[in-house]
Amino acid sequence: MNGHPEQRRPRLLAIDDSTMIHRLLKARLKSERLEIHCATSASQGVETARALLPEVILLDVDMPDMDGFSVLAELKADPHTHDIPVIIFSGSYDTKTKIRGLEMGAFDFVTKPFDVGELKARVRSAVRIRLLISMLAQRAQLDGLTGLWNRAHFDQRLREEVTISHRHGTKLALILCDLDRFKTINDTYGHPFGDQVLEEFAKILNHGRAGDVACRYGGEEFAVILPRADSREAASVAERFRQMLREHAWIEANDLVVTASFGVTDLETISEPTAKAMLESADQALYAAKTSGRDRVIEATQHTHSLKRTA
């Protein structure tokens, strides 16, 4: 699916002030399917964890600039790193140290010098848990019927993409689309066939450019986020979608022609770089497409911005 995370090796971040420990970890874990990253100070470790969002963190309790418990507290207080399993390790065999770490939210505890077999087993367990949590979180953001991202994911992703594009000065476009007279299709052919139409349209939207993010916005309305695209490029993509749907042959209804209307906008068109402004701009363009005859692509302009949507 476009916009889904690519398959890659799980990432491990080791936070320890000893470069010898880093070399040892890389040597002992090289047979594991891991991408290993290292931080030699607590502050660097917190910063790297937030930027990298690894699947598992190995955290030394004893560091000069900030002890591991303070790092653990920061990681657990940050919503972006809160769910990353943290395995703390220390040269201390003190039971109180272990209990303190576990009560603060550590996933596991390993004592230095660590046994390689034990460390591998604990890391594998942490990675499995992290991937399971990520899988469940992703499934919660998928639409059950079409398999596209759902509205919750769309809202979050659009905010993120607007922020990234505004910060780096890159292009960003948005397509909103709506199946024309979908209620009539449901009433005439039945809801199971209506669901089939939604599924087929989702497949069409999922064949856009690599990296585009197709979502079910709600009901028969859909959205596609297009990073690094302007309104003209997005309109070209939307036109291809429109034609593919119009030409689709429906086995259960040979004479049926299903169409959709499309509203397109980009960051250059809106007055302020916010997800809300971008969504409103695309919605007004979609409204213009619906009221001017349907089955067409309309790019947002100052004219479409002056239209007030009433339906």
Active centre residues (catalytic): 220
Exposure on the CB side of residue 107, measured as CA atoms within 13 A: 23
- Residues near 258 by Cβ (< 8 Å), separated by ≥ 6? 179, 180, 185, 197, 201, 245, 246, 248, 250
- Report the distance separating Cα 71 and Cα 86, nearest Å: 10
Task: Classify 128 as helix, strand or coil.
Answer: helix
Pick the closest to residue 88 from 70, 28, 78 (CA basis): 70
Residues 66, 40, 88, 126, CA torsion sign: positive
Cβ contact 31:123 at 8 Å:
no
Q: What are phi and psi of 105, to 5 degrees?
A: 115, 5
Question: What tokens were used for 85?
Answer: 């399993």
Burial (CB count within 10 angstroms: exposed 0-12, middle 13-18, buried 19+), residue 228:
middle
- Report the distance separating Cα 311 and Cα 13, nearest Å: 51
- Residues near 47 by Cβ (< 8 Å), separated by ≥ 6? 39
- Report the distance separating Cα 271 and Cα 209, nearest Å: 26
Pick the closest to residue 16 from 50, 40, 35, 36 (CA basis): 40
- Residues near 283 by Cβ (< 8 Å), separated by ≥ 6? 176, 263, 309
